Structure 1
Amino acid sequence: MKALALCLSAVLGFSLVGCSSVSPTVDGKTHVYSLKQQCPTLLEMNVGQTLELTLPENPTTGYIWQVAKPQNILKVEEIYQQDPLKGQQAMVGVGGEKLFRFSALQPGEEWIHVKHSRPWEQNAIDEWRCRVRVS
């Protein structure tokens, strides 16, 4: 019975270790997400830290990722990188990735909301949200 309790304690301990890092970081300062990764309920950041969000995009279709509302405490950078073609020059119609870089400028709380839509339409075909608290 003691062996079973010890075994269960070890399994529970190892499972909690996996949950200790709620937000994936590259260097301890940069939180990295993609479309497939959800943000935690509340992401805690410090001033100077960054959240990077990489999303698949093909602007030639008219659908782009855009920040849905202005940010007050976060600086936003958007970078589009076309997928590399082996041995060829960049071509129209080839998709790529959009990188959003949100840098924490001052303490406060903010919602990051990006949507995938055509700029002239109200309905988004996809969205990504994250509630951020900066201290």
Structure 2
Amino acid sequence: MTLPRLLLPMSLALLTACAQQSRQTVELDAESECPKRLAPGQNLTLTLTSNPTTGYRWQVKDPASSVLRSLGPEVYSSPEESGLVGVAGTSTWRFQASAPGDGNLVLVYQQPWAPEVQPVQTFECAIRVR
């Protein structure tokens, strides 16, 4: 096979791999560095430690809806191996970058029935979709 005939398939394979890599899901947690950059259509998974048995819940205050689209409700999971009631687990949210621009993803950890009380924790991350 000649060199030009070999380069074309290899170039297409490389371009395909690059395009797929930019679509990989971005993982985000309390220790993540922000701002986060996403490509349009790219997924974002946010995971935060949570313990609803204490009465506290994470609430999305600003979903950065100008640049993110929610892919469903919060999913809570507790560590099954602990065997203890009341052990903290994780809350997970999934989003997809929907439009180019800048937004701010903000969640607060507080008791839902006491919105006038300051949150125990706040998670805030600037999101840039380009």
Query: For residue 30 of structure 2, what is the aligned residue in structure 1?
Result: 35
* Residue among 74, 93, 97 paired with 2:90: 97
| 1:77-119 per-position Cα deviation (integer Å, ceiling 9, x unaligned) | 3211111136x6xx75332100122211122221101111111
* Residue among 118, 124, 130 paired with 1:129: 124
Aligned partners of 1:33 and 1:39 also within 8 Å: no
In 2: Cα distance, 1:97 partner to 1:55 partner: 6
The share of aligned pairs that are identical, in percent, is: 34
Aligned partners of 1:49 and 1:103 also within 8 Å: yes
Aligned partners of 2:108 and 2:123 also within 8 Å: yes
Query: For residue 9 of structure 2, what is the aligned residue in structure 1?
Result: none
In 2: Cα distance, 1:127 partner to 1:108 partner: 23
In the TM superposition, what are the counterparts of 1:104-115 in structure 2 within 5 Å?
104-115=97-108
The code of the aligned residue for 1:37 comes to: S
In the TM superposition, what are the counterparts of 1:1-135 in structure 2 within 5 Å?
28=22, 29-40=24-35, 43-72=36-65, 73-76=67-70, 77=72, 78-85=74-81, 93-119=86-112, 120-122=114-116, 123-135=118-130
State the number of aligned residues.
104
TM-score (norm 2): 0.67
Structure 2: gaps (5+ residues): 1-20
In 2: Cα distance, 1:33 partner to 1:55 partner: 9
RMSD: 2.1
The 3 A distance-change label for structure 1 pair 128 and 34 is: same
Aligned partners of 2:63 and 2:105 also within 8 Å: no
Structure 1: gaps (5+ residues): 1-26
TM-score (norm 1): 0.65
Shift >4 Å, 4+ stretches: none
